[in-house]
Amino acid sequence: MTISSKLISAMGGERGAVAADRLCRACVEYLTVDAAALSLILDGTTNGTLGSSGTDARYYDELQSTLGEGPCLDTVARRAPVLVHDLADPQESRWPTYRAAMLEHRVRAVYAMPVVVGGQYAGALGLFRSRPGALTEDTLAGAYVAADLAELPVLDLIGDFLQEPVPDPVDDVWGEMATLGRTEVSQATGMLIAQLNVDATVALVRLRAHAHATGQTASKVARDILDRRLRLDP
């Protein structure tokens, strides 16, 4: 059984926070790391730890929000993995405050993978290890798979997050839809705003959530909404 298969199996078909925690625990079991956490990062800011392998992992993740620096913030900003093999390396100058705090907790290596939801960089999977060194080729491949698998629980939890009374949790949703290059997505989102009595952000998340849940593209769901073959429940 491959690492990818083990990670998929570990999620057990769950969704949301349960799936996020299961995925993080599976990363510890199969990716030779000591802790793992999944965070929501919108507009360059950590908006919460969505899942973790345990209390230590949650602390490592939340510390980045407290200090405003760390590998998970960087992996989303750079839209690429951030792999630090040894935080104690004298030539390693990133995140001075965060690095010092992690070394105090005997964490020597950190690896962060961006999580992409509907084409947007919306979260990060952070992996933490007490011993320095690079991930093996198979383990790194598994980390990529884990970040891909994190898309669904992050999507679920973004939907929950956007129901809370927080200001502008997603930056320029209408601009994001234009970036998608799908006129029908924009039009269908407009219909959902009226049908569901929600704002543009929530309407777009609902459309994408249905697409992911049913294994369809966002544009296909949008066409069904526009053609009135599909009506989402409030």
64: CATH: 3.30.450.40
- Same domain, yes or no: 136 and 212: no
Average the pLDDT over 70-91 and give the result.
95
pLDDT for 172: 45
- Same domain, yes or no: 124 and 81: yes
| Domain presence at residue 87 | yes
**CA of 168: how far to CAs of 69, 78, 134, 149, 200, in Å?**
22, 22, 38, 26, 11
- Same domain, yes or no: 15 and 122: yes
- Same domain, yes or no: 129 and 199: no
| Domain presence at residue 75 | yes
Q: Give residue-wise pLDDT tens across range 7-46.
A: 888 887 777 888 899 999 999 999 999 999 999 887 666 6
β partners of residue 111: 83, 127
DSSP string of 132-168, one letter each residue: --PPPHHHHHHHHHHHHHTHHHHHHHHHHHHTS--S-
pLDDT class of 217 with cuts at 50, 70, 90: low
pLDDT class of 94 with cuts at 50, 70, 90: very high
For residue 187, give the CATH number of its domain. 1.10.10
- Same domain, yes or no: 46 and 91: yes
Q: CB within 8 A of 195, min separation 6: which ones?
A: 231, 232, 234
CA distance 129 to 111: 9
- Same domain, yes or no: 128 and 57: yes
Give the structural domain span for 10. Answer: 3-152
Q: Give residue-wise pLDDT tens across range 171-216.
A: 444 344 334 334 567 678 788 888 888 777 677 778 877 876 777 6
pLDDT for 30: 94
| Domain presence at residue 162 | no
Q: Number of folded domains in the chain? A: 2
| Domain presence at residue 233 | no
- Same domain, yes or no: 14 and 54: yes
pLDDT class of 160 with cuts at 50, 70, 90: low
pLDDT for 184: 67
pLDDT class of 89 with cuts at 50, 70, 90: very high
| Domain presence at residue 160 | no
- Same domain, yes or no: 197 and 133: no
- Same domain, yes or no: 146 and 182: no
Convert 117-150 to b/e letters by CB count within 10 Å (16 or more is b): bbebbbbbbbbbbeeeeebeeebbebbebbbebb
Q: Give residue-wise pLDDT tens across range 100-157.
A: 999 999 999 999 999 988 778 889 999 999 999 999 988 998 999 899 889 888 877 6
- Same domain, yes or no: 191 and 145: no
Report yes or no: 6 and 145 within 8 Å, Cβ to Cβ.
Answer: no
